[in-house]
A and B are shown apart, each in its own frame.
Chain A
Amino acid sequence: GIQVEQSPPDLILQEGANSTLRCNFSDSVNNLQWFHQNPWGQLINLFYIPSGTKQNGRLSATTVATERYSLLYISSSQTTDSGVYFCAVGVDYKLSFGAGTTVTVRA
């Protein structure tokens, strides 16, 4: 199956700081999504981004499909950004998830 590696595994930020999360994947995909898992366990869809760049408020993402990686940028971080960020990739029916990056934003 497709291998998904996320880095760093853990990230501690001071409120207001910027950060970059990385997702590498092992094969060509036609689906790539970033999710935020909040403290209640809910998976919140951030971006559907198999290629290109998207922005939504303080979050943005870039996927370079030819080089098999994606980046998630968090700017001006807030305590509500804390949680686990998952990258998930796939072809057609199945998504393979990475192990996630645990982000802690301190006030």
Chain B
Amino acid sequence: EPEVTQTPSHQVTQMGQEVILRCVPISNHLYFYWYRQILGQKVEFLVSFYNNEISEKSEIFDDQFSVERPDGSNFTLKIRSTKLEDSAMYFCASSGIPYGYTFGSGTRLTVV
């Protein structure tokens, strides 16, 4: 079964540093997403991406966040200057139509 692949599985970074989380969506999918889950809390929507532009973003997705599809296969989430409260599990997802998501295994980001 096709998978969404995320790297790294765990990243530790110092507060104020930039991080890039990487995802390889399912190859024939057209819609891409980032979600996050702070430990013990709900999974929250961050951003959706279609046709090389952001379709929708949440209030969490402020100027510190950006997304990019640099080469037609990877989909990245960049956090410019990490804060302690950015510590969370970040999930990438993709879908062939705006339904039926497949999620990746997540990247656990720890900001120290």
A residues lining the B interface (CB < 8 Å): 30-31, 33, 35, 40-43, 45, 48, 50, 86, 88, 92-100
Contact = CB atoms under 8 A, between A and B. Distances in A.
A43 B42 contact: no
Interface residues of B, number: 24
Given A41-B106, A86-B43, A93 B100 contact: no
Contacts of A100: 42
Contacts of A93: 31, 33, 48, 50, 55-56, 98
B55 A45 contact: no
Contacts of A45: 101-103
A7 to B, nearest CB: 15
Interface of B: 31, 33, 35, 37, 42-45, 48, 50, 55-56, 58, 89, 91, 98-103, 105-106, 108
Contact of B99 (A30, A35, A96, A97): A30
A49 to B, nearest CB: 10
Contacts, number: 53
B106 A95 contact: no
- For the complex, would chain A's binding face be called helix, strand, loop or mixed by DSSP majority? strand
Contacts of B102: 45
Given A43-B91, A99-B42, A92 B98 contact: yes
10 contacts: A35-B103, A41-B37, A43-B91, A50-B99, A86-B43, A93-B31, A93-B48, A93-B50, A94-B45, A94-B48
A86 B55 CA distance: 24
B43 A41 contact: no
B45 A95 contact: yes
A103 B108 CA distance: 23
Contact of B100 (A31, A43, A86, A99): A31
